[in-house]
Amino acid sequence: MRLVLHTLCLVFLCFSCKTPEARRPKNVKSGSFIDESILRNKELAAREEARIQKIITADSLNNYITSETGFWYFYKKKDSISTITPQFGDIVTFDYNVKDLNGNIIYTQQELKTITYRIDKEELFLGLREGLKLMKQGEMVTFLFPSYQAYGYYGDDNKIGTNIPLIAEVTLNTIRKESTTKN
């Protein structure tokens, strides 16, 4: 009997020192949500770009330029003499209006008033921020922005809804270079 008792104690001792095992999740999720989101966004961008290309093709009066960052634009008034464009920190004043791709006005120039903006140091939607850097003082440019270059998924919480591509007609009034001397 003693032998059986010792054997049982030895068996319990051996099995009680086992290291704990990690519990495995019941449901294994892959990155499918992210993959689906990426696919939806690519499809949305392709549809918007197709609409914009249709507008560009139908407009034989203007010469559209494709930007490096993913929007299109043409000059209504171009300055071919000056070489000065706004750089990081420069202060610009500009007027603009905003339309949808059908040409319906969302915001008039009077509603938006003249804007004073410090390049890349203040909030402004991505496409317009990049578009201003392409302009020279006195130029008038019309930009066509896909929604990801405009207000994107969130809109502007007012008149611009979710995923709305935009047309912005912009006049750059002044460029004031950032001071190079520091006190």
As a whole number of Å, the end-to-end CA separation of the chain is 96
Among 107-111, 141-145, 150-154, the minimum mean pLDDT is found in 150-154
143 in helix, strand or coil?
A: strand
| Higher per-residue confidence, 177 vs 94 | 94
pTM of the predicted protein model: 0.80
CA distances from 126 to 129, 133, 145, 150, 171 (A): 5, 11, 9, 6, 17
The percent of residues in the chain predicted with pLDDT above 90, rounded, is 73
Is residue 134's pLDDT more than 90? yes
Q: What is the mean pLDDT of the chain?
A: 89
Q: What is the CA radius of gyration of the chain?
A: 30
pLDDT at 183: 44
pLDDT tens digits, 3-44: 666 676 666 666 665 666 777 767 666 668 888 888 999 999
> Could you give the CA distance from residue 146 to residue 44 in angstroms, rounded to a whole number?
9
The class level of CATH for 39-176 reads alpha beta
For the chain, give every domain's residue range.
Answer: 39-176
